[in-house]
Amino acid sequence: MHESLKAILMLQQIDTEMIFLREAKHKRPQELESERHRLQEKKKVVEGIVQEMKRLRMDSDRRELDLKKNEGEVVKIQIALNQAKTNQEYQIHKDQIARLKGDNSKIEEEVLKKLGEIDGLAQAKKDGEAELKAFEVEFNSREEELKKILQGLEGQLAALSQRRAAAIRDIPADYLQLYERVLARLKDTALVRVENKVCQGCFMSVNPQKVNTIMIGRELVQCGNCLRILYLD
């Protein structure tokens, strides 16, 4: 085998490992994306409960103010009722008081209902926060584990980068450019074996003349179909 081919084959082994590790480095964080999405959804649920409790509390406070306002009106009208000079005036004030008391009764029921809803939401909030906290603990643990894995991948890539820098010193510049050009184009392997006059990269036949040139080992030979660099064991 051409000496440069041996060097390129060794380089490809390093590059294959680096491609695998880079792919792992890219994909591993995606494993947590679904869990991250679930975490955000749980946070939204709890936040939604909190916002609904605030809304109900504001509505309840507003209706209690209406209640106090009506009670104040009742006091005023009661005074006017006591000072009524005619039966008609007396009846008008009496009807106003009855209407206001009827409104107050409805308001009190509405406030009690809202307070009951708030109590129910408070329990839902408590349960949601407990579930969220447990999920966050598990998620943070997995995230820390992932960080360690990624750090390990970074360390392996750094070591391989050093090996690659040493490996390319044994490859002529034009051969290295050809190899890297093919690798960049195909994304996987730039150097493949020929078996039974067939390229093992694209599985197309290699003509006898190219096979002979490979055997002589004086120059690099590319597949006429996939353009990968060819070699024989």
Rg (CA), the chain: 40
Alpha carbon distance 157, 18 (integer Å) = 6
Could you list the pLDDT tens digit for every one of the 233 residues in the chain? 567 888 999 999 999 999 999 999 999 999 899 999 999 999 999 999 999 999 999 999 999 999 999 999 999 999 998 898 899 999 999 999 999 999 999 999 999 999 999 999 999 999 999 999 999 999 999 999 999 999 999 999 999 999 999 999 989 999 999 999 999 999 889 999 999 999 999 999 999 999 999 998 888 999 999 999 999 97
Q: Does domain 3-170 have CATH number 3.30.930.10?
A: no
The SS3 call for residue 102 is: helix
The SS3 call for residue 202 is: coil
Alpha carbon distance 111, 58 (integer Å) = 11
CB neighbours of residue 73 within 10 Å: 16
The whole-model pTM stands at: 0.66
CB neighbours of residue 88 within 10 Å: 9
Each domain of the chain, given as residue ranges in start order, spans: 3-170, 173-231
Distances, alpha carbon 87 to alpha carbons 49, 56, 91, 106, in Å:
54, 43, 6, 29
